[in-house]
Amino acid sequence: MQLHINNATQFLAEGMIEKYEPQVKAAQQALEDGTCAGNDFLGWLHLPSSITPEFIEEINKTADILRKECDAIVVAGIGGSYLGAKAVISALDDNFTWLKPSDSPRILFAGNNISEDYLTELINYLSGVRFGIINISKSGTTTETAITFRLLKKMCEDQRGKDKAREVIVAVTDARRGAARQCADKEGYKTFVIPDNVGGRFSVLTPVGLLPIACAGYDIAQLVKGAQDMECQCDINTPFAENPAAVYAATRNALYASGKKIEILVNYQPKLHFMSEWWKQLYGESEGKQHKGIFPASVDFSTDLHSMGQWIQDGERTIFETVISVDKANTSLIVPADEENLDGLNFLAGKHIDEVNHKAEEGTRMAHIDGGVPNLQITIPSLDAYNIGQLIYFFEKGCGISGLVLGVNPFDQPGVEAYKRNMFKLLGKPGY
Ligand code: PA5
């Protein structure tokens, strides 16, 4: 993975990024020393290098049981207990996996909304399907997830009988506290622990993400290896200019200070849509505090060039783009020649679709820079588990540093309680 910032620096006064170097260094040091705000939640910092082959083996073993016993696995979770697994699986899956016969169970996500229609339709689908459940909740009390688990647990027990159901229900939750822990202990489910010191949005490399990803059949050892290598690359001893997380944190803070209030994460691969959703949670929940913070937005190009492209080219100049650029497609497809050439496309005949996509990317970058939009670019060689692991750790480290430089606690989320209090009061929950 590489970060390129030259198309952003041209929008900043000379030396602006270097000006942030001391603050970035101080933030890195505070993370290492555990002296920063939110220092109870720094377990993600050296998480990749702490993951052992034995731990990966244990997760794979549980995944193998679920894969053997189930034709569908429902992952119940929301926010940090949902988006990481969804992002990685979407990035690695075939785009049309739903429509193809497969030896792998279908991985379904629920517990991330309160839609009656969604849950009814899920239950209808599952009624004839051998399914299992991974119930993911650190607090164990999140309403969306708990409602879903209550429904699915009963359905799974009705389908298989209580004893068999407990073989295909796994809980990923706190080591000691919360309703999900109590239920798992009482029922005798296999459990995995979400460490106390890892917050939800930084938990994709714990069993929260690793178990569903392994259930989908992907190589979690490679994912972790990518993250481990990025952990080394973003180490505090790496010189500033060679440390992508440090440079990213400095650049986005410099852009923010210069009036760029919105960062748009851009991809040119539909499979990366949910990486952007994961990234939005990571940065939005970490930095949006004390009435400050870059607003994280995202677009899927070239699709959204035909919708949001107008705004980005010509709208208010408060934005910058960070483009995830994948060097090479995993497959090969060439534009065919056509004798009649009625569509006028023979100028593309013989070219790879991926080449056309890259020219769209290059042309867009030039247009947006001309239009006054600073452009950061992150390149990865291809979409695979290793490179996605690199991206994950890069963004996590960049987020921790960036939030501290901004002057907020990047590891709490007090704002998300406000809606819950009102909802519970409106629903008559005891104590509200
Ligand atoms: O990042 C976070 O902390 C949140 O998004 C949580 O992950 C989310 O609210 C789900 O919480 P829990 O895992 O406790 O159900």
Tokens of 79: 């926010």
Q: Answer whether residue 41 is part of any domain.
A: no
Q: What is the mean pLDDT of residues 255-264?
A: 98
Q: Is there a contact between 33 and 396 (Cβ–Cβ < 8 Å)?
A: no
Q: How confident is the model at residue 98 (pLDDT cuts 50, 70, 90)?
A: confident
Q: Is there a contact between 184 and 347 (Cβ–Cβ < 8 Å)?
A: no
Query: What is the structure's pLDDT at 50?
Result: 98
Write the pLDDT tens digit of every residue in 137-182. Answer: 998 889 999 999 999 999 999 999 999 999 999 999 999 999 999 9
- Please tell me whether residues 153 and 241 are part of one structural domain: no
> What DSSP line would sit under 42-62, residue for residue?
-TTTTHHHH--HHHHHHHHHH
Q: Answer whether residue 195 is part of any domain.
A: yes
Q: Answer whether residue 337 is part of any domain.
A: yes
CB of 80 closer than 6 angstroms to any ligand 1 atom? yes
For ligand 1, atom 3, the nearest C-alpha belongs to 200
- Which of 48, 93, 88, 390 shows the shortest CA–CA distance to 206? 48
Q: Is there a contact between 223 and 213 (Cβ–Cβ < 8 Å)?
A: yes
What proportion of the chain, given as a percentage, has pLDDT over 90?
97
- Please tell me whether residues 136 and 169 are part of one structural domain: yes
Q: How confident is the model at residue 101 (pLDDT cuts 50, 70, 90)?
A: confident
Domain stops at, among 218, 241, 269:
218
Domain stops at, among 189, 218, 247:
218
- Please tell me whether residues 89 and 15 are part of one structural domain: no
Q: Is 420 a catalytic residue?
A: yes
Calculate the average pLDDT of the chain.
Answer: 97
**Residue 212: alpha-carbon gap to chain centroid:** 13
User: Which residues make Cβ contacts (< 8 Å) with residue 36, sequence separation at least 6?
Assistant: 27, 30, 42, 404, 409
Find the domain containing 56 and state its range. Answer: 47-218
Catalytic member of 285, 287, 321, 396: 285
For residues 162 and 242, give the distance between their C-alpha atoms in angstroms, rounded to a whole number: 55
- Please tell me whether residues 69 and 201 are part of one structural domain: yes
Q: What is the mean pLDDT of residues 49-70?
A: 98
* pLDDT value at 257 more than 90: yes
Question: With left for phi above 0 and alpha for psi between -120 and 50, is residue 372 left, alpha or beta?
Answer: left
Query: What is the structure's pLDDT at 161?
Result: 97
Q: How far is the CA of 79 from the centre of ligand 1 (A)?
A: 5
Query: What is the structure's pLDDT at 65?
Result: 98
Q: How far is the CA of 90 from the centre of ligand 1 (A)?
A: 20
pTM of the model: 0.97
Q: Answer whether residue 319 is part of any domain.
A: yes
Q: Note the helical H segments in 244-384.
A: 244-257, 273-287, 309-314, 353-370
Give the position of tokens 């930095």: 287
- Please tell me whether residues 175 and 231 are part of one structural domain: no
Q: Is 285 a catalytic residue?
A: yes
Q: How confident is the model at residue 79 (pLDDT cuts 50, 70, 90)?
A: very high
What CA–CA distances, in Å, run from 213 to 36, 106, 293, 394?
32, 12, 31, 19
Q: Which atom of ligand 1 is nearest to the CA of 77?
A: 15
Q: Is 273 a catalytic residue?
A: no
Q: Which atom of ligand 1 is nearest to the CA of 79?
A: 5
What proportion of the chain, given as a percentage, has pLDDT over 70?
100
Write the pLDDT tens digit of every residue in 310-360. Answer: 999 999 999 999 999 999 999 999 999 999 999 999 999 999 999 999 999
- Please tell me whether residues 252 and 204 are part of one structural domain: no
Query: What is the structure's pLDDT at 388?
Result: 98
* pLDDT value at 112 more than 90: yes
Query: Cα torsion for 338, 342, 345, 347, to the nearest 10°?
Result: 80
CB of 138 closer than 6 angstroms to any ligand 1 atom? yes
Q: How many domains is the chain partitioned into structurally?
A: 2
Query: What is the structure's pLDDT at 140?
Result: 87
Q: How far is the CA of 155 from the centre of ligand 1 (A)?
A: 25
Q: How confident is the model at residue 14 (pLDDT cuts 50, 70, 90)?
A: very high
For ligand 1, atom 15, the nearest C-alpha belongs to 137
Q: What is the mean pLDDT of residues 361-368?
A: 98
- Please tell me whether residues 388 and 250 are part of one structural domain: yes
Please list, residue by residue across 410-429, b when 16 or more beta carbons sit within 10 angstroms of its beta carbon and e when fewer do: bbbbeeeeeeeeeeeeeeee
Catalytic member of 291, 306, 339, 340: 306
Q: Is there a contact between 212 and 85 (Cβ–Cβ < 8 Å)?
A: yes
What's the one-letter identity of residue 137?
A: S
What CA–CA distances, in Å, run from 333 to 90, 136, 216, 357?
21, 39, 26, 12
- Please tell me whether residues 123 and 214 are part of one structural domain: yes
- Please tell me whether residues 154 and 288 are part of one structural domain: no
Could you give the 3-state DSSP secondary structure of residue 331?
Answer: coil
* pLDDT value at 103 more than 90: no
- Please tell me whether residues 257 and 164 are part of one structural domain: no
- Please tell me whether residues 308 and 408 are part of one structural domain: yes
Q: Which atom of ligand 1 is nearest to the CA of 80?
A: 7
Q: How confident is the model at residue 259 (pLDDT cuts 50, 70, 90)?
A: very high
- Please tell me whether residues 208 and 178 are part of one structural domain: yes
- Residue 73 host element (H or E): strand 72-76
What CATH number corresponds to the domain at position 401? 3.40.50.10490
Pick the more confident residue, 97 or 66: 66
- Residue 134 host element (H or E): strand 131-137
